C-alpha cells in the first residue's frame, strides 16, 4: 500500500487488505489480541490511505507462496445456500461434517448429549459467520482448519469454553465467531488439518 496520496479515499477492498495483514500478524504472534482489535477497528473506520498506512507500517508485507491461489481458494466456498442453520441433541448427539454449508447464523444446543461441528470441508453462506453453542450437561466440539479466521467469545459456568482454536486466517478467509455458554458441560474449539493435508503429510 502506498502513502503517496494520503488524502485519497480508501476503498472497501483496501480496508479489507489491511485487515487481512492484521489477521496474519496476530496469527504469527506479531500483535497481541488487544493491539489487533484496536488496529482492526481503526482499519474499518478509516476513510483515507493516510489513516490506513500507519496500521501496518511496522508489519512485513504479505508474500504468497509460489503457485498459491490469491484468496486461498475461499472465494468459491463463500456465498453458497445454507444447508443447515442449527442442530439440537437431547440425550443423543448430532454431527455436521464433510461437505455442507453453514448458515451465517448457526445455533447448536445440546442437553445431556453431544455434538460435532466440523468446518474443515464446509462452505459458508456469508463471509461473516456466527456459531452459537449452548451445552448443558453435555459437550460440543467445533473443528476448524488452520487457515480459517476464528474468534471465540463464549463462557462456561461450572463448565468450560475452550478457545484454543481461535486465531487469524489466510487472505480471503471467512470470519467465524463462536459464542454461547456451557453449563456443567463444555464447548471445545480446536484446529485440525484437513484430511487431504494429513494424507499428504503422511506421504
Model confidence over 157-182: pLDDT tens digits? 988 998 888 988 888 899 999 999 99
Confidence of residue 68 (pLDDT cuts 50, 70, 90): very low
Model confidence over 120-147: pLDDT tens digits? 999 999 999 999 999 999 999 999 998 9
Q: Residues 6 or more apart from 48 whose CB is under 8 A from it?
A: 6, 7, 8, 9, 10
pLDDT higher at 70 or 116: 116
Cell digits for 107? 445455533
Collect contacts of 194-197 with beta carbons under 8 A, ≥24 apart.
194/120, 194/121, 194/145, 195/120, 195/121
Amino acid at each position: 500500500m502506498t502513502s503517496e496520496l494520503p488524502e485519497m479515499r480508501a476503498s472497501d477492498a483496501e480496508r479489507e487488505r489491511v485487515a487481512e495483514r492484521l489477521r496474519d500478524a496476530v496469527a504469527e504472534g506479531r500483535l497481541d489480541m488487544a493491539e489487533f482489535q484496536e488496529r482492526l477497528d481503526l482499519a474499518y473506520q478509516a476513510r483515507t490511505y493516510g489513516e490506513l498506512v500507519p496500521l501496518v507500517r511496522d508489519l512485513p508485507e504479505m508474500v504468497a507462496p509460489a503457485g498459491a491461489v490469491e484468496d486461498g481458494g475461499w472465494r468459491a466456498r463463500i456465498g453458497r445456500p445454507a444447508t443447515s442453520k442449527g442442530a439440537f441433541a437431547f440425550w443423543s448427539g448430532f454431527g455436521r461434517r464433510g461437505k455442507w454449508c453453514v448458515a451465517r447464523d448457526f445455533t447448536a444446543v445440546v442437553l445431556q448429549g453431544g455434538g460435532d461441528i466440523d468446518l474443515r470441508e464446509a462452505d459458508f453462506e456469508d463471509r461473516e459467520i456466527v456459531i452459537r453453542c449452548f451445552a448443558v450437561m453435555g459437550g460440543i466440539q467445533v473443528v476448524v482448519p488452520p487457515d480459517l479466521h476464528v474468534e471465540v467469545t463464549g463462557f462456561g459456568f461450572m463448565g468450560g469454553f475452550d478457545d484454543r482454536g481461535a486465531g487469524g486466517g489466510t487472505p480471503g478467509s471467512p470470519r467465524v465467531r463462536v459464542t454461547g455458554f456451557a453449563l456443567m458441560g463444555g464447548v471445545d474449539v480446536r484446529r485440525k488439518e484437513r484430511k487431504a493435508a494429513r494424507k499428504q503429510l503422511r506421504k
